[in-house]
Amino acid sequence: MNKQKRVEPIPEEFASYEEAAEFWDTHDTTDYPDAFRTVDVETTFRGRYYEIEIEADVAEVFQAHARQKGVTVSNLASDLLRQQLATA
């Protein structure tokens, strides 16, 4: 038995991003090969970021100090870690 899968056409326009998201949440892009094209992309590696777990009370102190200094929590944490490691 050769059952053909019925593919619903892509709407010409979506009323909102949410409507488009709902459509693609329930449809497979591989069913629409003519709707997409391959593109060549070049990118530059900008850096690597790491995530570490810290306790909530430490995070609150970081946030308060960062606000006070007018910097991001990430920048403050990196600076403090660099200072600490330089003296280690």
Q: How confident is the model at residue 88 (pLDDT cuts 50, 70, 90)?
A: confident
Buried b (16+ CB within 10 A) or exposed e, 36-74: eeeeeeeeeeeeeeeeeeeeeeeeeebeeebeeeeeeee
Q: Give pLDDT tens digits for 7-56.
A: 899 999 999 999 999 999 999 999 999 999 999 999 998 888 899 999 99
Cβ atoms 66, 72 nearer than 8 A: yes
pTM over 0.85: no
